[in-house]
């Protein structure tokens, strides 16, 4: 029985528990004694059993745990720093977005103000341009009218000078034409019955004497007045005189003779025209 009881002791002596990384201690020396020998005699006991080389350690070494904890703390610190950096970046981004939004609002307001100012400036410029255009138009019209008046005045003066020069150049011819026309008119009137009677009456009207008046006429004129003898003044005595031209007459009265011959009247008219021309030239 003693051999059986001490068997575990022998078995336990050949097996020891180790921690990972620890070296196995040398086996205990055999305990001298008879019981052991007896047990050996009863059941042969194998030699000491060595632990397998690849056996896994039951607990890690303290240094490895500390290293892992340190690495975890570093990783946690890095993650925290990254999280804080992301938070700061997000805050900065929001601030930038707000600033951009404010700038956009300011830009829109400035653009609207610029458009309003541009519209007002354009309207003012248009009004000024319209007023200036009207003023320029009025000025241009006044200038054109003034220029037209100057041209018209110049033209009138030129026409007047031209007319005056033409009259001066052709004055002699005009006098002759006028004189010839008057002579023809006077001759035509004097050659008619009414003209002769009118001429005789006008001459006798200025004579107030009651004596007889002798009227000497061209024979042809005497024949014309013979039919109107009753219409003439009773003091008149008509006589034919070949020395008197047609249309003329001589009236002999107590105070002298009235010469109403046509050629004398024409000569007087010619003399009056020449005198008027001479007076005008002297005045110039």
Reduced to 3 states (helix: H, G, I; strand: E, B; else coil), residue 239 is strand
- pLDDT of 11 reads 42
- pLDDT of 207 reads 53
Residue 9: both structure tokens together: 């002791």
The CATH number of the domain covering residues in 171-283: 3.30.2320
- pLDDT of 216 reads 85
User: Cα dist. 214→55, 235, 237, 240, 250 in Å?
Assistant: 201, 8, 5, 10, 8
User: Cα dist. 114→103, 108, 124, 127, 209 in Å?
Assistant: 16, 10, 15, 20, 113
Alpha helix ranges (H) inside the chain:
2-5, 7-13, 34-42, 62-169, 171-191, 193-205, 219-226, 262-283
- pLDDT of 24 reads 47
Reduced to 3 states (helix: H, G, I; strand: E, B; else coil), residue 136 is helix
Distance of alpha carbon 221 from alpha carbon 196, whole angstroms: 7
- pLDDT of 7 reads 44
Phi, psi torsion values for 252, nearest 5 degrees = -100, 125
Return the domain boundaries, the chain.
Answer: 2-42, 61-165, 171-283
Please, what are the averages of pLDDT over each run of 10 residues along the chain (284 residues)?
44 47 46 42 47 52 84 90 87 87 87 85 82 84 83 79 67 58 52 55 55 79 74 76 79 70 65 69 67
- pLDDT of 191 reads 47
**Residue found by looking up tokens 């002791």 in the block:** 9
- pLDDT of 130 reads 79
- pLDDT of 111 reads 84
């Amino acid at each position: 029985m003693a051999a059986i009881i001490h068997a575990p002791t022998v078995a336990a002596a050949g097996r020891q528990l180790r921690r990972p990384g620890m070296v196995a201690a040398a086996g205990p020396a055999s305990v001298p004694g008879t019981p052991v020998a007896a047990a050996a005699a009863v059941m042969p006991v194998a030699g000491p059993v060595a632990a397998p080389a690849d056996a896994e350690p039951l607990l890690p070494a303290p240094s490895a745990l500390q290293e892992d904890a340190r690495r975890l703390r570093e990783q946690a610190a890095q993650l925290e720093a990254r999280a804080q950096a992301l938070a700061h970046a997000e805050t900065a981004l929001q601030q930038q977005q707000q600033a951009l939004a404010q700038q956009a609002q300011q830009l829109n307001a400035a653009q609207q103000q610029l458009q309003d100012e541009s519209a007002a400036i354009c309207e003012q410029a248009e009004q000024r341009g319209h007023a200036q255009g009207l003023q320029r138009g009025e000025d241009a019209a006044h200038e054109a009218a003034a220029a037209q008046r100057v041209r018209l005045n110049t033209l009138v003066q030129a026409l007047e000078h031209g007319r005056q020069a033409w009259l001066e150049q052709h004055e002699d011819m005009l006098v002759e034409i006028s004189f010839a026309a008057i002579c023809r008119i006077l001759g035509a009137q004097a050659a008619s019955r009414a003209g002769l009677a009118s001429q005789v009456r006008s001459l006798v009207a200025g004579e107030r004497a009651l004596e007889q008046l002798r009227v000497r006429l061209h024979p042809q004129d005497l024949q014309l007045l013979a039919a109107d003898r009753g219409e003439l003044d009773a003091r008149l005595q008509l006589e034919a005189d070949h020395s008197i031209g047609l249309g003329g007459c001589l009236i002999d009265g107590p105070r002298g003779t009235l010469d109403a011959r046509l050629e004398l009247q024409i000569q007087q008219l010619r003399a009056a025209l020449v005198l008027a021309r001479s007076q005008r030239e002297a005045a110039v």
